[in-house]
Every structure is written in C-alpha cells, then in structure tokens.
Amino acid sequence: MVKKGKGTKMKHARNIPNLWVLIMALVCSAASVFGADKRWVVYEGKKGPGVGKHIVFVTGDEEYRGEESMPMMAKILAVHHGFKCTVLFSINKDTGDIDPKTLDNIPGLEALESADLMVLFLRFRELPDEQMKRIIDYTNSGRPIIGLRTSTHSFNYRKNRNSPYAKYSCNNREFKGGYGRQVLGETWINHYGGHQRESTRGVIAEGMESHPIVKGVEDIWGESDVYGITTLSGDSKPLIMGVVLEGMKPTDKPNAKKKPVPVVWTKTYTGEKGKTSRVFTSTMGHSFDFLSEGFRRLLVNACYWGMGMEDKIPARSNVNIVGKYEPSRIGFNNEKTGVKPADHALSPQR
C-alpha cells in the first residue's frame, strides 16, 4: 500500500473550500432564477433606445385577458426596443397560477421602486395595504403612468372599507371617481357602444395629427365597445376618438346615432408629494384589439412619450409580435387555467 503524503492531504484540504464555494454559487444561482420566474416574468432588453429603462406591467382583470396581452406587449418592447420589462400578475395563493379572479394578490410590486414607467391593466382589485402602498407610492412619484381599458375602475374596496387606500375605489364620492377619474381621467360609466355587438374604429382627434404618440399609426380597429364617459378630468386632451361601428367587423358602418367619444387621451397628474406625472389612458384593450398593428404601435409610442423619449420614436415603430399571440375570448370565466408566469417566458433563442 502506498501511503499518501502530507502534501497530498493539504492539497485536498485546500480544494474543499473552493468546492463549497462552487456548490453554494450554483445553489444561489438556481434559487435566484427560480425566484424570478415563480410569480412574475422579466424580459431583459438587449439593444435599442430603451436599454437602461424599466417598464413594469401590473395586470389583474377578469374579463379582457390582460394577463395574455400584456406579456405580448412586454416582449415587443423588450425584443424590438430594448426596454427591460417586468410583468406582474394576480396570483392564486394556493396554486401559484395566474388567476385574474384573485382580487387581493399581485406579488412583485416592489419592482415599481426601480420602474421608469408603470402600465396598469386592472379591474376591481382590493389589494392588501402593503401591496397597494407600492402602487400609490409610484403614482405620487411623478413618474409616468399608462392605464388600459378597465383600469378606469382599477380598485373597488368592499371588504376593507377602513383601508387608507379605500378612497381609490372607482365609485368613491369624496375622492370623486377614485383612482380612475383622479389619476387616469375617468372612472367606470357604462358601455356606450353595444357590448360585443358594436366594435370601435379609432380615429386621430382633430388637431392631434402631429402628436408623437400617433407617429406612424395608420389604422386602429378593435372588437372592444366604446366606453361611455362624462367629462374627462383635469387637463385631459383627447388623442383618439372612438367611432361606434354597427357590427363586429372593421368594414361595418358607423352608428350615426352615436357621436364619437374619446377612447384615448393624455393628461398630467400631480400627486400628494407635488410631483407631476405624464398619463396616457386608453379605454380600448379587448384581447383582440391587440391584433391591430395600429393599436400596438400607439401603445409602444405611448411608452416612449411617457418616459420623455418622444424624440426617439421611430417613423414606424416595430410592433411585430414576438412568438405567438393567440388571444382567448373575453368574458368572465374564459381565462386559461393552470398557467404560470414562467409559461410566458421568451424562448431560449431570443
């Protein structure tokens, strides 16, 4: 038998700490990746004007499939424009699935601390105070906000009416109209167009043809019906007027009995800290609206504008869909089940 020398033992001893460092690094790396993918999804922009900017999408609506359309838009903004995009979802606490019917849980809102833009696609959420605080802190920060479709009625506090955030409920009388009207420009009023009977043709509002958000926008049509409004709040400026069509095809005639009303507008909001945000609101947002190239381009341009990057808006923003977008039908209980945030991850070749 050959005895191992003292030098051999010392050599092995020196390698043990290095081995443990490697093992722990691999464990921590795996935990980090799993943690990032477990309850939300992140798309890292690699090249384009958006590199260095962070957009956070906050989703949670039971009707219009924002949990499908917002990851699609985030991929466009990351892959074609370079923005880092984080998409947050309403998550079922028991299963970890994306569940738009879970009204009180949107994990990952701490991402708003580093956000350069917040995009909301919410409906009737009643978040716990620690989650809602992050949204309101962002809202008061002076950074830009985009609200889509049912975000005019993002919040509805029915169980916890003593919450300091209950005033943001869509029907609040003291803070009139809640978050929707005060921040975005209008709260929920009604279906002005016939729901799922009359679609929307979007036309640029008179005098807004040279606005940077409509640059390269040539056609907007969607299955969403036009939402009713009273008067837009604050310094709201209509950007796109919604023409009510008599049917659900882009070739249908306008309903002559219903005059066009704003479906997209811009405004500012000055929060409780005296800081002023740029705000873009669209009451369009039906899952099938996002099949419209013009509508997608409008939203991409709005992201640039919100962050003060209007001088970087291309003549014709690239809004080609990354991967597949096969939207589910709208309506309650039509959401896909068993879907995890990681299911929206980009394919490895991207």
pLDDT greater than 90 at residue 16: no
pLDDT tens, 32-71?
Answer: 333 354 899 999 999 999 999 999 999 999 999 999 999 9
What is the DSSP track for 153-203?
G-B--SS-TTSTTGGGSTT-TTTTTHHIIIIIS-----BSSPTTTS-EEEE
Contact 72, 325 (CB under 8 A): yes
pLDDT tens, 300-343?
Answer: 999 999 999 999 999 999 999 999 999 988 988 888 999 999 99
Strands, sheet with 200-204, edge to edge from the N-terminal-most edge strand: 40-43, 84-88, 54-60, 117-122, 145-148, 276-282, 261-270, 237-244, 200-204, 220-222
Number of folded domains in the chain? 1
149: left (phi over 0), alpha (psi -120 to 50) or beta: left
Rounded to an integer, the average pLDDT of 168-185 is: 96
> What is the rounded distance in angstroms from the CA atom of residue 63 to the CA atom of residue 40?
20
- pLDDT class for 13, splitting at 50, 70, 90? very low
CATH code of the domain covering residue 112: 3.40.50
Is residue 241 situated within a structural domain? no
Number of H helices, E strands in the chain: 5, 10
DSSP-based three-state secondary structure for 297: helix
Name residue, tokens 């929060």: 271
Out of 22-31, 83-92, 197-206, pick the least confident. Answer: 22-31
Rounded to an integer, the average pLDDT of 158-167 is: 93
> What is the rounded distance in angstroms from the CA atom of residue 324 to the CA atom of residue 78?
15
Is residue 30 situated within a structural domain? no
Is residue 258 situated within a structural domain? no
Is residue 239 situated within a structural domain? no
Is residue 26 situated within a structural domain? no
pLDDT greater than 60 at residue 235: yes
Is residue 5 situated within a structural domain? no
pLDDT of amino acid 36: 52
Out of 3-12, 72-81, 110-119, 137-146, pick the least confident. Answer: 3-12
pLDDT of amino acid 108: 97
Full domain range(s) for residue 160: 36-189+263-344
pLDDT tens, 238-260?
Answer: 999 999 999 999 999 999 999 99
DSSP-based three-state secondary structure for 335: coil
Tokens of 157: 């506090």
pLDDT greater than 70 at residue 90: yes
Question: Average per-residue pLDDT in the chain?
Answer: 90
pLDDT greater than 70 at residue 271: yes
pLDDT of amino acid 117: 98
Name residue, tokens 């909001």: 269
Percent of residues, the chain, with pLDDT higher than 90? 85
Is residue 236 situated within a structural domain? no
Is residue 276 situated within a structural domain? yes
pLDDT greater than 90 at residue 21: no
pLDDT of amino acid 9: 46
Q: Record the pTM.
A: 0.89
